[in-house]
Structure 1
Amino acid sequence: MLAALILPLAMPATASNPAEAERLSTYLAARAADTMGDPATASKLFAALVRDLPADERLRQRAIVGAIEAGDMRLALELGNGVPFDRAPLELRMLTIADLLVRNRQSDALAHLRNGGGTIDSSFLLPFVEAWARADAKDGNAVQSLDSVNPQSALARQVNEHRALIHLKLRQPADALPLAEKALEEAGGRADRLRLAFADGFRAAGDMATAAKMVDAKGAAMSSAQARLRSGKPLGEAIDSSSKAFGELLLGLAIALNRLDDKSIAVSLAQVARHANPENDAAVLLLGLLLDEAGRSDDAVAALRTIDEGSSFANQAEDAEVRILLDNGREKEALARAHRTASIAPSADAFSRLGAVFSRLERQPESAQAYAQAIALAQSRETSDELWALQLYRASALEESGNWPEAKAIMQSALASSPENSLLLNFLGYGMLERGEDIEAAEAMVRKASALKPDDASITDSLGWAQFKRGKVDEAIETLNRAAASDPGQGEIREHLGDALYTAGRRIEARFAWRAALATTEEAAAKARIESKIERGLDKANAAP
């Protein structure tokens, strides 16, 4: 049937075959929507064709996959009704299992997984679903089902977290704790989500001390969780049922598969995870980020805006939304969003976000003012674990505004509190180098920063530039070569290396370095300076600051 539908593409539609012409028009519109990154429209159009051509399995599969990618689970389930599980696309099989678990039909979900089948066998999920089905039935040995997980499986890294969560569901906190700690070590970008889930689990199990320990970490989500626990409230992030646990498995898979060039499968798995647990804001946050990476910025922003302002992930969601808006040229919306939050819910995080937006818009004086308000709120409410970072951002905005004296004073104050902070040392030391202020002290700061972070290319560059400024040209070339090798794409490093090579009389090598710098430099003034050096060599007028 699908071949019959595509065949008319080679010939003009005629009035004698109006039904075929209409199908062709619908098909072309669906293909166009799909190409434009609009799976919602594409899936609806493909679904219309399926209703007209119900025997065309390939067309049905295309409509189902598009509906899942668009988050239209009702349509996907309608179209998938009657499709044999072993012939269903992976996305539909995942949705089928999730929907059965949401409806507490664990035995049916297990039957499907035990039968396996499909181009990609989904039976690797069986041990997890079986373990949770046993936990839902209050089987005290439910975790034993996880013993059969293949250690080479993409889900092997999630075994510890599910063991811990099942022990918590069964009110076995002592057994859960060492597993939860291992899971957090392996969690990567999901650490905040797991901390909150574990905290809710330990709270429900009556272990308030360990619940508090789980959220004893940095970040807005942890600060909010700490306050809720102190007030005796649940966090609303529990993973305590088969459907919620299945959603977490899919999120882990989505993160792993997002490394592929084709982002559609990762997006689809995140959509199904959201269906499995609609209350999981971490899933919505991940979905928003995946949609953005897939080029669907409007859908990403729409998804992120569904996260409630009271959610533990509200701050991260707004950070992501504002960044996406800025990246897509929607500066007014980004600024309005950041302004609104800073006005109605003033906090260090809200004003820090506003400062970042002003900085992206190159409105540095306003950025510095916003960061000043963030610092004041952080100091008065003791809500920031990293006050030095806000001070660094404010100093950077002040420097960009031409107010180096105030920026320098802020950095000196920050260093007094954090004398071993490599970023502060590098910022202040490099700023002094650029202005020729106390070169010896500046080099000492940068050298200390480099000792603290020997693999940081920017700091290594600062050290090389300090050596160059002090006339240690050969030593500078060696250091700058190391920095360039560590980060070949940083134009500033290449320019510094070129200046040092030219000074040492190695002029051909210098021009190679400058040309490499030019290829990755975007700032107009820096580009003009480098072009001048390539053309006529290094002089006082075109030397790097």
Structure 2
Amino acid sequence: MVISVGRLWSLAVVVAALWGCMPQSGGRTGRDDGDMADESRLEAGLGAYLAGRFAQSHGDTRAAADYFTTASRRDPDNLDLQQRAFTLLVAEGRLDEAAVMAERLLIIDGEAALPSMMMGARDGRDGRFAAAEKRFAILPKKGINGFLGPLLTAWAKAGQGDFDGGLALLAPREETSSFAPIYEFHAGLMAEQAGRPDLAEGHYKAALAAQTSVRTVEAVGTFYQRAGRMDAAAELYQRYLKEHGDRSLLDARRLLAAGAGPPATVATAADGLAEAMFDTASLVRQGNAHDLALVFSRLALALRPDFPMAQILVADTLGHQKRLAEANEVYRAIPVSAQVSGFARLRLAVNLDEMGEVDRAIAELKSLAAATPDNHDALMALGDVQRRHKRFAEAADTYDLALVKAGGSADSRNWGLFYARGIALERSHQWPKAEKDFLEALRLKPDQPDVLNYLGYTWVDQGINLEKGRKLIERAVELRPNDGAIVDSLGWALYRMGEFQASVRYLERAAELKAEDPTINEHLGDALWQVGRYDEARFQWKRAMSLDPEPEQIDPLKAKISTGQLPGQPLK
């Protein structure tokens, strides 16, 4: 990627202004060796700063941390640089380095939020809860700190045996009403730790009534199990799976097999602090604040190294940054005994596939499928990998096995498996079977845009069921009007039905929505040719050729470009 000189200069001006090193009129014109050394140091720092800004803007927190740390060493009095470097060091899990910088920042600003939070977490980890409470008490009362501060302070009080004081901080209040489910959840955890099961259950029920996250369901379900209420636990797990289907994140059978023996979700006050950090990381991750998600996930793991859900969040965020090898190191560190170990192996395999290690990905998924005979997620992921690499017949066979495990048509959530198998069958030239799967997927999930589009497009492309296909695609466009692939399908249906002017209108829209798709550009070229816009048609065919078309598209495109017309069609 290229950065313009103008952008670099504007950043340089900002940094120079921050550092107070802009040349001033009327100053000295001569320079001694000390001036030159200072200038050289600042220039080196400026370069590191710019590189750090670039790395951070592209989601590479590892490189950004290195660059900003270098820049901060070049100018140790620059508070902005120190804060940036500190935050990124925490995000990268380099907490010993960050602690040194935190102490320096707290000397400059005794109420600096993130350094106070980190040092308070360290105090809590080491059992110094009174010191931790003092750190947390000075956190700002707005923004994310306004939400997190009471949670951390509550657990610091609990660590000192003051459970009533901690629970009072988690009581509903207007300024934190939007976070009530999380506060109720933590109140349940705290009451359970305090040995007040009835109070804990009340808070847990309030949390579940507002939000059924997998973490809450697991905590409440195992609470029921420890109380010997296995039916209540089983009912909660099944209700969640029916609504969400996250089998790889919630292994109900495995949980129930532990009987009354699952450990408490939060056993200590330090665990409670870690839970608060994790919940915050999850919140900011939902808002696409990936750097902050890493910060809070790392703090959660500093407090509780054996915290698989926090490890999952770290690995997932690293994967979002395309740091797939590092993400897989984190996934591999999750013990097999962990509830989410299957999910970790699943994500590891997906990353291997994205890294080009297809055979390793397939081997990992086959091994996982064999190890989890009551779970079809690994088989579905395996079929997806095979389909992605055009091993369509193999993928269809894998989806067969997945559907048997998943219960077939008896479970309406399996529409996606029928849809995926239908694609594999259609691409392996088994259309009658594929058509049945698409129709079954629609029966299970009426008005599903992808299924409507795929079935309607295939009918139209084959020249069969044109009117029915057109209606299916029109419905898909109604449901998803800004999906370029679906708009293209409608344009192509109109083309196949001879409505060329209307076809051009939709295909031009599709090309705007999905400009890099070779098939859409080829379709638009064909339609433009049919309405006499020959030069534009040729341009679209050339564009399609430049966009890495499928092998079967290449020769027809070459012929169109060479002759300037559709095969067998004379110029009009």
| Common topology (TM > 0.5) | yes
1:134·1:142 contact (CA, 8 Å) conserved in 2? no
Structure 1 counterpart SS, 2:265: coil
1:101 to 124, 133, 136: 124
Structure 1 counterpart SS, 2:164: coil
Deviations 1:203-242 (A, max 9, x none): 6688877755654231214651366348645666835754
Structure 1 counterpart SS, 2:344: helix
1:239·1:245 contact (CA, 8 Å) conserved in 2? yes
Match of 1:297 in 2: 324
Alignment of 1:197 onto 2:219: yes
Distance 1:87 1:339, change over 3 A: farther
Instruction: Normalising by structure 1, report the TM-score.
Output: 0.73
2:415·2:440 contact (CA, 8 Å) conserved in 1? no
Task: After TM superposition, list the pairs within 5 Å mapping 1:23-42 onto structure 2.
Answer: none
CA deviation after TM superposition for structure 1 residue 450, in Å: 4.2
Match of 2:163 in 1: 138
CA deviation after TM superposition for structure 1 residue 273, in Å: 1.6
Match of 2:187 in 1: 166
Alignment of 1:316 onto 2:335: no
C-alpha distance in 2 between matches for 1:488 and 1:314: 40
Match of 1:374 in 2: 402
Task: After TM superposition, list the pairs within 5 Å mapping 1:213-292 onto structure 2.
Answer: 215=237, 216=239, 217=241, 218-221=245-248, 224-225=251-252, 228-229=255-256, 232-233=259-260, 238-239=265-266, 242-251=269-278, 253-254=280-281, 266-292=293-319
CA RMSD of aligned residues (A): 5.1
CA deviation after TM superposition for structure 1 residue 306, in Å: 1.9
Task: After TM superposition, list the pairs within 5 Å mapping 1:333-482 onto structure 2.
Answer: 333-346=360-373, 347-379=375-407, 386-415=413-442, 417-418=444-445, 420-451=447-478, 453=480, 456-482=483-509
CA deviation after TM superposition for structure 1 residue 274, in Å: 1.7
Deviations 1:440-463 (A, max 9, x none): 333344344445555544333323
Structure 2 counterpart SS, 1:278: coil
1:64·1:80 contact (CA, 8 Å) conserved in 2? yes
2:492·2:523 contact (CA, 8 Å) conserved in 1? yes
Structure 2 counterpart SS, 1:219: coil
Instruction: Normalising by structure 2, report the TM-score.
Output: 0.70
* Greater Cα offset, 334-343 or 69-78: 69-78
CA deviation after TM superposition for structure 1 residue 111, in Å: 0.6
Distance 1:377 1:383, change over 3 A: farther
Number of equivalences: 510
Match of 1:23 in 2: none
Task: After TM superposition, list the pairs within 5 Å mapping 1:78-117 onto structure 2.
Answer: 84=106, 86=109, 92-116=115-139
C-alpha distance in 2 between matches for 1:258 and 1:419: 32
C-alpha distance in 2 between matches for 1:389 and 1:446: 18
C-alpha distance in 1 between matches for 2:262 and 2:518: 46
CA deviation after TM superposition for structure 1 residue 104, in Å: 4.0
Letter in 2 for 1:71: G
1:338·1:357 contact (CA, 8 Å) conserved in 2? no
* Greater Cα offset, 80-89 or 517-526: 80-89
Distance 1:223 1:61, change over 3 A: closer
C-alpha distance in 1 between matches for 2:390 and 2:214: 32
Match of 2:150 in 1: 127
Distance 1:240 1:208, change over 3 A: farther
Sequence identity percentage: 24
C-alpha distance in 1 between matches for 2:128 and 2:234: 34
Letter in 2 for 1:353: A
1:91·1:265 contact (CA, 8 Å) conserved in 2? no
Query: Unaligned stretches of 5+ in structure 1?
Result: 12-27, 185-190
CA deviation after TM superposition for structure 1 residue 301, in Å: 0.5
Match of 1:18 in 2: none
Distance 1:157 1:87, change over 3 A: same
CA deviation after TM superposition for structure 1 residue 480, in Å: 3.5
1:127·1:146 contact (CA, 8 Å) conserved in 2? no
Distance 1:292 1:451, change over 3 A: closer
CA deviation after TM superposition for structure 1 residue 256, in Å: 6.3
C-alpha distance in 1 between matches for 2:376 and 2:144: 48
Structure 2 counterpart SS, 1:305: helix
Distance 1:205 1:227, change over 3 A: same
Match of 1:71 in 2: 93
2:225·2:262 contact (CA, 8 Å) conserved in 1? no
C-alpha distance in 2 between matches for 1:449 and 1:260: 28
C-alpha distance in 1 between matches for 2:83 and 2:202: 47
Distance 1:441 1:287, change over 3 A: same
C-alpha distance in 1 between matches for 2:279 and 2:545: 41
C-alpha distance in 2 between matches for 1:475 and 1:250: 55
Structure 2 counterpart SS, 1:139: helix
CA deviation after TM superposition for structure 1 residue 515, in Å: 5.9
Structure 2 counterpart SS, 1:220: coil
